Amino acid sequence: MSAALRSFEAQWRARAPDALQPIRELAMQRFLKLGVPSQRDETWRYTDLRGLAAQNYDQAGCATTDAHAGAGAKNGHAALTLVDPQQHAATVTMLNGCPLLSADLPVINGIEINSIKALYKQDPSYLRRFFESASDADQRRWVLLNTALFIDGLYLKITQSVATPLVILHVSQGGVAQAAHPRVIIDASPGASATIIEHHVSEEDIAPLSNSNTHIALGNDAQLEHYRVYATGPGATHFDSLDIHQSQDSQCRQFTIALGGGLVRSSLEARLNQRGASLDSYSLLVGHQERHVDCVNIVTHAAPNTRSRQTARAIASDLSRVIFNSKVIVNAGANGSDSKQSCRGLLLSPRAEIDTRPQLEIHADEVKCAHGATTGRLDPDMLFYLLSRGLDRETAQSLLVYAFLADVLTGMSVSSARAAIENALINQLPDAQTLRKFR
């Protein structure tokens, strides 16, 4: 048993049972049996966790001392300004996974904000449906640990159409020998709609291991635009998993933006459970310096006439590595399913690496499934075209890099989030000054 596993087991033994105990117990047993993923596990083949497995972990604390006020604002990993002050957006802070729900929490018409812990104390059965049964699938390994060890979490119930975005600011604080397990449940009632932005930051360059999970459940006709923006420090390790369950005619637009962290593993598993459900997933994965970004998307069409689009853009510079694996599964009987996967990678340095693999698994007839993946350097034909019009080389190159990202950026409907993300992104690309001119 690895040091990490032993230390997680010790944490598990030390905690007091609570109302979720049966669910937690099963998850912990699976995790202990399966262990820390190795590169022999299918979805982990590009990411080496041996260093992590040799580490002893303590539970990262939830102390609120000065953290609320100073959350993420102390240094260079400060929070991006994803929403304008005049949008009156509400922000809920989670420190190492613990929601800071003070009395002065803003009230938003149409979104009920609760602590998971408070809720399951009142009614243990209510939340059960948001916890998936323990699975051996290797992409779900860290979700098992999260289920076993999370201290508290955030439960958001969206009951009507809400225009202003809600921001969840995840703050990581502490050392690398600590681990936190942030948990968020977003439950949209039939016909409700909202925009939720999850923003992950760390107080320092180094941070605890963050093992976060978000579960999204969309009722019939519900609409959600969801962002997860990774902007932690270069010494931070982050495993983030997202589960999306969609009912009839629900629509989800999801943006995954990797702009920070040292080791980032991001997974998305979506199930289009009923007719008419539609998912647009956008990923913008930026490899910078020595960052390692490993992204896994699995979309299951489980009902007829469901629709999914996956658009991923990966850029790798310096010594970074970006991995994007996506898979579309069409279940038997899910006729009329319509899916597209488009993944493009752009290498800006000879020592950077991008790996992409779109996959299809189809068990139904009459489906429309398209996929494409390309990775390369800047297109020489495009470059020559711009040069032949008199643009200098630096401008031409920057323009093409910017254009490469446009497919994802233009999909964002929160303009302030788009502007802030563009800005942070440009700072991590060569020729930042030239790029600013195109905005």
Partner 1 sequence: MLEISDLTARVAGKEILNGVNLTVNAGEVHAIMGPNGSGKSTLAQVLAGREDYEVIRGSVTFEGRDLLAMRAEERARAGLFLGFQYPVEIPGVNNVYLLKAALNAKRKAAGEPEVDAYDFLALIRQKMKFMQMSETFLTRGVNEGFSGGEKKRNEVLQMLVLEPKLAILDETDSGLDIDALKVVSQGVNSLRDPKRAVVLVTHYQRLLDYVIPDQVHVLSGGRIVKSGDKSLAQELERRGYDWVMGAQVA
Please, what is the Cα angle at 71 between 70 and 76, to 5 degrees? 90
Binding of residue 400 to partner 1 (CB under 8 A) = yes
Instruction: Report whether 268 contacts 255 (CB < 8 A).
Output: no
- Under 8 Å between Cβ of 54 and 168: no
The minimum distance between CB 411 and partner 1, in angstroms, equals 12
Check: CB of residue 259 under 8 Å from CB of residue 428. yes
Closest residue by Cα to residue 110 from 71, 63, 144, 160: 160
Distance in Å, CB of 297 to partner 1, minimum:
23
**Choice between 85 and 390, CB closer to partner 1:** 390
Shortest CA distance to 355 belongs to which of 293, 434, 404?
293
| 166 and 111 Cβ atoms separated by less than 8 Å | yes
Pair 402, 371: CB distance under 8 Å: no
Tell me which of 196, 201, 399, 421 binds partner 1, using CB under 8 A: 399
Q: Between the CA atoms of 383, 384, 386 and 392, what dihedral angle is there, to the nearest 10 degrees?
A: 80
Number of residues that bind partner 1 (CB under 8 A): 25
CA-closest candidate to residue 116, choices 20, 15, 11: 20
**Per CB under 8 A, does 391 bind partner 1?**
yes
Alpha-carbon span 362 to 146, nearest angstrom: 31
Least Å distance, CB 330 to partner 1, is 29
Find the part of the chain contacting partner 1 (CB under 8 A) among 131-139, 172-180, 242-250, 387-395: 387-395
Residue 48's φ and ψ, nearest 5 degrees, are -95, 115
User: Quick check: 439 binds partner 1 (CB under 8 A)?
Assistant: no
x/- contact string, 407-436, with partner 1 (CB under 8 A)? Answer: x-----------------------------
Is 290 a residue that touches partner 1 (CB under 8 A)? no
365 binds partner 1 (CB under 8 A): no
Name which of 53 and 378 has its Cβ closer to partner 1.
378
Binding-site member from 11, 29, 114, 395 for partner 1 (CB under 8 A): 395
> Where are the alpha helices (H) located in 75-230, listed in sequence order?
116-122, 141-149
CB of 383 to partner 1, least distance (A): 9
**Choices 96-104, 221-229, 284-292, 381-389 (CB under 8 A): range interacting with partner 1:** 381-389
Task: Closer to partner 1 by CB, 138 or 407: give it.
Answer: 407
The site for partner 1 (CB under 8 A) is made up of 379-382, 384-393, 395-396, 399-400, 402-407, 438
